Structure 1
Amino acid sequence: MEFSASIQKAFSTAEVTGGGYSEVRDREEPIMSDDGPLTNELHLSKLGRSQWWILVLVNIFFLIAGQAAAVLLGRFYYDQGGNSKWLATLVQTAAFPILFIPLYLIPSSQKASASPSPPSFRILASVYFFLGVLLAGDNMLYSTGLLYLSASTYSLICATQLAFNAIFSYFLNSQKFTALILNSVVVLSLSAALIGVNDHSEGPSGVSKWKYIIGFSCTLGASAIYSLLLSLMQLSFQKVLKKETFSVVLEMQIWTSLVATCVSVLALFASGEWKTLHGEMESFGEGRASYVLTLVFTAVCWQVCSVGVVGLIFIVSSLFSNVISTVGLAVTPVASVIVFHDKMNGVKVIAMLLALWGFASYIYQNYLDDSKARRMQCNVDETRNDSVC
């Protein structure tokens, strides 16, 4: 799964997690942190409320539609005879050049004086290389999980990334562990446990119980590593890049995706899987053209999802982006029932309801944080005699 499925808290300081329209409109001055000023290069305060909501809805659509379509296309690739895990890993980042489009379309701020000095090339390259290698390994685990699981089961297990994220954010990013967050962690863990112990869970045809366990373990491990990756990225933004701009986040995605793509290509050749690709294309159930189009559209869909993730992080907040990304995982099981006729037994339905409960807890915590941030801003405005509350 492309890490851009949500860069949790990439724009947040360790203390602030709320987001919203009022928060963005009030962000006209550099935000100060212990390490220096955090600059915001797009003047979103000039947007009207209706324009702001249109941007939010468009980015939500990109995120959810891109993510759901990519997972379903990945499952379709395996169902029609595809068997290369490294090729499935490669397509998750291979279309990263698409991200250069928004990078160059969005104007950059010329206020260089407010920005801290950039890190050295060596440090920056080391950060991108390490995160890129970790991303490639994480995508490989996701590819293995999707090979042995149905799309609905896979998506329900992926929902645990929100619980893992809360844990890693607590230890690495000083994220507060509230009662609602704890409730979300427990409920999402129970949801994954139900899927894991369900003796009647069915993977794709021909998948043994042992392979099902491997798929479950790989997907669960990938969700944990993905959340760790998000927390490490936040540390990178706070301690190394020390900026809060749209272009910096896009550049992080582009260069880490480049590293992950190179690692995937090398692994594809080192594993010998490249030798089977021609035969795989010839024997693909829907034909050679469908084989190529499936891979191309899978890659494009992951990057469409990436644009939505970055857009929501910048327009609203990183927590909101991560929540929408995880809620989007609940769309995939429903879509998989329609597209692949996956069986939704009672245990899966209960697991989905628990996952939605966990999502709701996280969203409500975001609402509380947002309300608190607005009240604080109103108090600041009142002291300046320019309150609009």
Structure 2
Amino acid sequence: MGTTLVIINCIILAIGNCGGPLIMRLYFNNGGKRIWFSTFLETAGFPVIFLPLLVSYVHRRRSNNNEGGNSSFFLIKPRLLLAAALIGILSGFDNYLYAYGIAYLPVSTAALIIASQLAFIAIFSYFMVHHKFTPFTINAVVLLTVGAAVLGMHTETDKPVHETHKQYIIGFLVTVAAAVMYAFILPLVELAYQKAKQPMSYTLVLEVQLILCFLASLVSVVGMFIAGDFKALPKEARDFKLGETMFYVVAVFSAIIWQGFFLGAIGLIFCASSLVSGIMISVLLPITEVLAVIFYHEKFQAEKGLSLALSLWGFVSYFYGEIKAEKDKKRIQQETELTSLPRTISEC
């Protein structure tokens, strides 16, 4: 079941990680301008989480009828509830930074910048949940950081039409900030799991996702109210280049697809770790790159090629290091078992 759950979360994350930025850019490319509204759509699909939670509740209730177990709909306790709420608020602001960046950057550029978050995840994981650094991890951190920095060169040729150079630079810097902030959030979720003081299950992961996205959406709603989005959206829908109906279709699918990203990310933290979740996000980078070039005909200059190569090199370096460390761990364990075997036989 563990491997199956990992695969399912990887698939869900892949759909959200590749589809989310593309559909968000579709909104901006066709006349969309409301950044807080785009931020809201990143987490507004949280009600779909009620469906698997309902299935879990029905199954749990049937199992506990004869045992007198816990049949309440929610299993989450106050400690984990508070942690999920705080992380949700942080996520709301991080989503705004990301939406702001996507509004002014090509999807391919934004994806490469987000790839740098693996370096920051490694750093935050080291201090927050005590993941160990290896030479391969350090190499990956350096390569991914340099890869993101390379994108800062010759940015004028990459600038979307009708946007100023200033807007592009601000979008670039804001996306870097979003990457750093989300790199902090992922280990924070893992830390919350460790400090929950209750047995973690996938049902609890779903409940954390529900609370996290609800609070993030609440932050977005407040932002929409302050920015005047509620008054502006009806006109924006009518003026949408693809038509008013498509405006709402894009909004609904955006909410659903983005929900897959967040559920897959925190699901992988539960199944493995925040670092593995970050690695999976980086693995999907080339797919997002190719899809952006295919669907939006985005330019792929030498700087992007170099940045992509450095990012992939960084990922391979980290992944190779993890495989090598796992092999060394198994070898040491086998040697320890062989060493203790004669002693065990003599004692018998």
Settle same-fold status: TM greater than 0.5: yes
The Cα shift of 1:227 comes to: 0.9
Is the 8 Å Cα contact of residues 166 and 181 (structure 1) preserved in structure 2? Answer: yes
2:139 aligns with one of 183, 187, 192: 183
Is the 8 Å Cα contact of residues 117 and 278 (structure 2) preserved in structure 1? Answer: no
Write out per-residue CA displacement over residues 125-168 of structure 1, whole angstroms, 9 at most, x where no aligned residue: 43232211100000000000000100110100010110111111
2:102 aligns with one of 146, 154, 162: 146
1:164 aligns with one of 102, 120, 128: 120
Cα distance in 1 between the residues matched to 2:76 and 2:264: 27
Under a length normalisation based on structure 1, what TM-score does the superposition of the two structures give?
A: 0.77
Write out per-residue CA displacement over residues 171-197 of structure 1, whole angstroms, 9 at most, x where no aligned residue: 222221111111111001111111012
Which residue identity lines up with residue 192 of structure 1 in the other structure?
A: A
Is the 8 Å Cα contact of residues 163 and 188 (structure 1) preserved in structure 2? Answer: yes
Counterpart residue number, 2:51: 101
2:20 corresponds to 1:70: yes
Cα distance in 2 between the residues matched to 1:345 and 1:174: 38
SS in 2 for 1:82: coil
The Cα shift of 1:59 comes to: 3.8
Counterpart residue number, 1:261: 217
Write out per-residue CA displacement over residues 204-235 of structure 1, whole angstroms, 9 at most, x where no aligned residue: 21111111111011100011010111122222
Is the 8 Å Cα contact of residues 81 and 280 (structure 1) preserved in structure 2? Answer: yes
The Cα shift of 1:101 comes to: 2.9
SS in 1 for 2:151: helix
Give the superposed CA RMSD: 2.9
Which residue identity lines up with residue 292 of structure 1 in the other structure?
A: Y
Note the residue ranges of structure 2 that are not aligned, 5 or more in a row: none
Cα distance in 1 between the residues matched to 2:301 and 2:273: 36
2:316 corresponds to 1:360: yes
Is the 8 Å Cα contact of residues 99 and 307 (structure 1) preserved in structure 2? Answer: no
Counterpart residue number, 2:40: 90
Write out per-residue CA displacement over residues 326-345 of structure 1, whole angstroms, 9 at most, x where no aligned residue: 21122111111000000001
TM-aligned CA distance change 1:127 to 1:225, over 3 Å: same
Give percent identity, aligned residues only.
35
Which residue identity lines up with residue 257 of structure 1 in the other structure?
A: C
Cα distance in 2 between the residues matched to 1:224 and 1:311: 20
Is the 8 Å Cα contact of residues 119 and 241 (structure 1) preserved in structure 2? Answer: no
The Cα shift of 1:120 comes to: 5.8
TM-aligned CA distance change 1:178 to 1:201, over 3 Å: farther
Is the 8 Å Cα contact of residues 203 and 212 (structure 1) preserved in structure 2? Answer: yes
Write out per-residue CA displacement over residues 296-330 of structure 1, whole angstroms, 9 at most, x where no aligned residue: 11111112234433554455555433311221122
SS in 2 for 1:300: helix
Structure of larger gyration radius: 2
Query: 358-367 vs 132-141, which deviates more?
Result: 358-367
Greater fraction helix: 2
